[in-house]
Amino acid sequence: MDFTRLSNAIDFAARVHQNQTRKGPNPGPYIYHPIFVAMCLVHYQYDEDVVIAGLLHDTVEDGGVAPDDIEQQFGQRVRQLVEAVTEVKDPSMSREEKQRTWLTRKERFLEKLKDASVGARAISAFDLLHNALELTALISSEGASASQHFNAPLDRKIWFARQEIELFRSDAGKPHATIVADLLERLLAELEKLP
C-alpha cells in the first residue's frame, strides 16, 4: 500500500467534507463515514485503489467534486470506482422532489450497481453497512420521529437495502458477499422490529 497516496486521499476527502455532518440529532463530522468504509476495505484486504475510492466515494455525490479531479489526482480506476457508486443527483432538487423521485433514483442506482465491478460493490456494501448501523442507532434513540431526517420511509429504505444485498451475494467468495450481507440482514431484521 502506498501510504503517501492513501494519506493524500484522506486529506482530499477531509477537505471536501470539512463543513458537512451526518444526519441525526447528534450529527458527527461527515468524514467518519468514508473513513469507516475505507477501514472495512483495508480490513478485508481490498486493493489500494478500492480503499482510496472508499475514502472518496461520496466526494462527487455529496461534495460536488468533478470526476476529472479524482482521476487527475488518483487515477482512472479510482475515478471509475467512485462513479460506479455515485448516485447522480440534481443539487437544485427540493426535499419534496427528492422524496417523490426516490424510488426511480434507487432503481437506476441498482441497475448501475449490477454492472459494477466487485470492488465497487464492496464499497457500496460497506457504505450500506455504516448507514444501517447509524440508522439503527438513530431509530433506537429517536423512535418514529427519526424518519424526519430521511427522504424515504423506513420500509422503502429496507427494501432498497435488501436489493443491494442480493447483488452483493452474487460476488461469491468475497467478504462483502457473505460476512457483510449476513450482518446487514441481521441489522435490517432489527430495524423492522423497532417502533
Closest alpha carbon to 54 in 43, 36, 38, 70: 38
Question: Does the pLDDT of residue 4 top 80, yes or no?
Answer: yes
Question: Does the pLDDT of residue 24 top 70, yes or no?
Answer: no
Task: Read off the pTM.
Answer: 0.92
At residue 21, φ and ψ (nearest 5 deg) are -130, 160
pLDDT of residue 53: 98
Give Cα separations from 126 to 25, 37, 150, 161 (angstroms). Answer: 23, 5, 19, 12
Question: To 10 degrees, what angle do helices 118-142 and 32-43 make?
Answer: 130
CATH fold of 3-193 reads Hypothetical protein af1432 (1.10.3210)
Whether 62 is catalytic is yes
Question: Does the pLDDT of residue 99 top 90, yes or no?
Answer: no
At residue 97, φ and ψ (nearest 5 deg) are -65, -40
Which one is catalytic: 61, 87, 142, 185?
A: 61
Task: Sketch the domain layout of the chain as residue ranges.
Answer: 3-193
Which one is catalytic: 2, 48, 62, 83?
A: 62
Phi-psi region of 87 (alpha: psi -120 to 50; beta: other; left: phi over 0): beta
Average pLDDT over residues 112-134: 94
Whether 61 is catalytic is yes
- Looking at the DSSP assignment, which residues form a beta bridge with residue 29? 21
Average pLDDT over residues 111-119: 95
Identify the residue whose cell numbers are 417523490: 100
Contacts with 37 (C-beta within 8 Å, 6 or more apart), sequence order:
54, 55, 57, 123, 126, 127, 130
Cα–Cα distance measured from residue 159 to residue 86, given in angstroms and rounded to the nearest whole number: 19
pLDDT of residue 13: 97
